[in-house]
């Protein structure tokens, strides 16, 4: 089945709040063509793919994606949320695995990534 046939009826990336044509183009370079793909991957994995495909790395773009997936405007990040979002972003920017979905506190990203490299990380 052709890609266009496969995605017919699928929502475009720009249907996610806060995401415009530039982000859609970056996700397309990463092979992510639909909003559903991003929703299934989650913000961290999708943004990691975006970075790996050469997307411009920017904190506001990351938290716009996170908030957009929650249906919130990009300016809605509270002062309490920003430090945790920044830690997640820094881990992604450094190329460490996004472990938030696995229940790992963002503070432990670095140690978990190192332990995973030697095969002694969390058993998932």
User: In degrees rounded to 5, what are phi and psi of residue 16?
Assistant: -80, 130
Going by the DSSP 8-state scheme, the letter that residue 10 receives in this structure is P
**pTM exceeds 0.85 for this model:** no
Query: What span, in angstroms and rounded, lies between the C-alpha atoms of 47 and 89?
Result: 9
Q: CA nearest 72: which of 17, 34, 23?
A: 17
CATH fold for the domain made of 10-117: DNA polymerase; domain 1 (1.10.150)
For 14-63, the pLDDT digits (tens) are 999 999 999 999 999 999 999 999 999 999 999 999 999 998 899 999 99
Q: How high is the pLDDT of residue 122?
A: 53
Query: What span, in angstroms and rounded, lies between the C-alpha atoms of 99 and 104?
Result: 6
For 51-89, the pLDDT digits (tens) are 999 988 999 999 999 999 999 999 999 999 999 999 999
Query: What span, in angstroms and rounded, lies between the C-alpha atoms of 75 and 57?
Result: 18
């Amino acid at each position: 089945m052709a890609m266009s046939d496969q995605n017919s009826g699928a929502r475009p990336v720009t249907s996610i709040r806060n995401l415009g044509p530039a982000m859609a183009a970056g996700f397309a370079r990463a092979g992510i063509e639909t909003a559903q793909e991003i929703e299934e991957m989650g913000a961290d994995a999708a943004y990691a793919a975006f970075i790996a495909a050469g997307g411009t790395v920017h904190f506001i773009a990351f938290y716009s994606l996170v908030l957009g997936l929650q249906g919130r405007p990009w300016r809605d990040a509270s002062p309490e949320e920003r430090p945790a979002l920044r830690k997640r972003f820094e881990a992604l920017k450094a190329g460490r695995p996004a472990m938030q979905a696995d229940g790992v506190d963002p503070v432990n990203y670095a140690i978990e990534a190192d332990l995973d490299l030697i095969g002694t990380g969390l058993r998932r």
